[in-house]
Structure 1
Amino acid sequence: MLAACKPAATPATSAAPAEPVAAPQAEAPVAAAAQQGLAGFGGYGDVRLGIPAADMEQAWGGALERLGPSPEPADGCHYLRPKRAARSAEDPAFMLEGGRFVRYDIEGERETAPGGGRIGMHRSDIVRLYPNQVEARPHHYTDGEYLRIRDPAGGAGVLVFETDGRGEDARVVAWRVGLPPQVDYVEGCS
């Protein structure tokens, strides 16, 4: 859900600190790891994280439309999506804040995350795809988790998978890539 561009409020009760998740040893990597699409740790296709908002349509190669009301102030947090006759849930949502592209969100099942993760995969599949890279954080509103993965090439981008639970059978329900702190906003923008 794309609601408000604010970092999560610290809960009154202390949440468990983020913990690295060790990869299981004897399992083979998931086949999806070999698939690569437009999604990357540095951006989405030619739309690179950090570019000015004014350059977004040229980088995308087409028109983009704002989602929701205009932000206050004008360079406040907001989302853009590809402008199409028939908009699809598969389209990426591009977050802008401070006049720059800072994050993209994926809610459709067809898109593959950098490294091979996908919506619908089990938590255990994600841990195998990203060995010794997953930092698990408790979800702010559900029993799920945020599985956070830094760019293995040392770039500034961070990949976050949201799961519907905490066990190995929990499934990925959404994912996003962006720059801190915006990648860690839990409700998107309003």
Structure 2
Amino acid sequence: MKSLPSSSVPTFACAVLLAFGLSACQREAPPAAEPAPPAANAADQPAEDVPPATAPAPAPAPADTLARFDGYGDLRFGMSAEQARQAWGGELKGEATPDGGCYYLQPQWAKNAAEFGLMFENGQFVRVDVGNDKETAPGGGRRGMSAEQIRGLYAGRIEEQPHKYVEGARTLRVSDGAGGKGALVFETDAAGQVTAWRIGLPPQVDYVEGCS
């Protein structure tokens, strides 16, 4: 084997080193790419053009009854007929008796005082009579309920006795739980179903015949 001239050794060595270096550079792994951010969960992203969901609105509370142990709506027991007409805010049928005795005023929609009537006596508003299914008594009592339901609603506050005129029927008198003078009276039929109720001040609230 022939030896290389001495003058060629450095050149040859440099060439070898250069080739080795280039080869090493070519074999060097490229820098690792930065990891891609984790894909967002679709559930975490709001849908485009869709407003964010809101909690459902609570169901409206049932409206309070207009009847109270001290009156009805803006009317208060003890008002004069003129004050009651103004507080009612609409036309009321009926006229005062010449002697200032007992009489009723009624809204235009009521067929008679038994369906709905405002009783006055001695010039003052003293009682409300209800014989329809639209009105609710304070505490939840209504026409059409059973006597047992009324006993459950007003437990511990009822004075019960037989109806004065209807055999087998009952009268359930409820005192004001707040200690007021007013009273609530339910009348049932012989089957024990409420047919009418009234609320007002004694003694008028206990008139079984109304103004008769």
Q: How does 1:44-83 map to 2 (within 5 A)?
A: 44-66=72-94, 71-73=97-99, 75-82=100-107
Q: Name 2:129's counterpart in structure 1.
A: 105
Q: Name 2:175's counterpart in structure 1.
A: 150
Tell me how far 1:92 sits from its aligned partner: 2.8
Structure 1 position 140 matched with structure 2 position 164: yes
Cα deviation per residue 1:127-166 (whole Å; 9 max; x = unaligned)? 000011111022110121110001100111100000113x
Tell me how far 1:99 sits from its aligned partner: 0.2
Unmatched 5+ stretches in structure 2: 1-61
- Report which of the two structures shows the higher radius of gyration computed on alpha carbons: 2
Unmatched 5+ stretches in structure 1: 1-33
Tell me how far 1:71 sits from its aligned partner: 2.4
State whether residues 170 and 192 of structure 2, in contact with CA within 8 Å, keep that contact through their aligned partners in structure 1: no
How many residues are treated as equivalent by the alignment? 149
State whether residues 41 and 158 of structure 1, in contact with CA within 8 Å, keep that contact through their aligned partners in structure 2: yes
Identity of aligned residues (%): 50
Structure number with higher helix proportion: 2
Structure number with higher strand proportion: 1
Counterpart secondary structure, 1:54: helix
TM-score when normalising by structure 1: 0.73
State whether residues 81 and 91 of structure 1, in contact with CA within 8 Å, keep that contact through their aligned partners in structure 2: no
CA gap 1:35/1:119 in 2 versus in 1, 3 angstroms? farther
Higher RCO, Cα 8 Å, sep 6+:
1
CA gap 1:87/1:186 in 2 versus in 1, 3 angstroms? closer
Q: Kindly report the root-mean-square deviation, in angstroms, between the aligned alpha carbons of the 2 structures.
A: 1.9
Tell me how far 1:72 sits from its aligned partner: 4.2
CA gap 1:87/1:106 in 2 versus in 1, 3 angstroms? closer
Tell me how far 1:87 sits from its aligned partner: 4.0
Q: Name 2:51's counterpart in structure 1.
A: none
Counterpart secondary structure, 2:143: coil
State whether residues 35 and 112 of structure 1, in contact with CA within 8 Å, keep that contact through their aligned partners in structure 2: no
State whether residues 36 and 116 of structure 1, in contact with CA within 8 Å, keep that contact through their aligned partners in structure 2: no
Tell me how far 1:64 sits from its aligned partner: 1.0
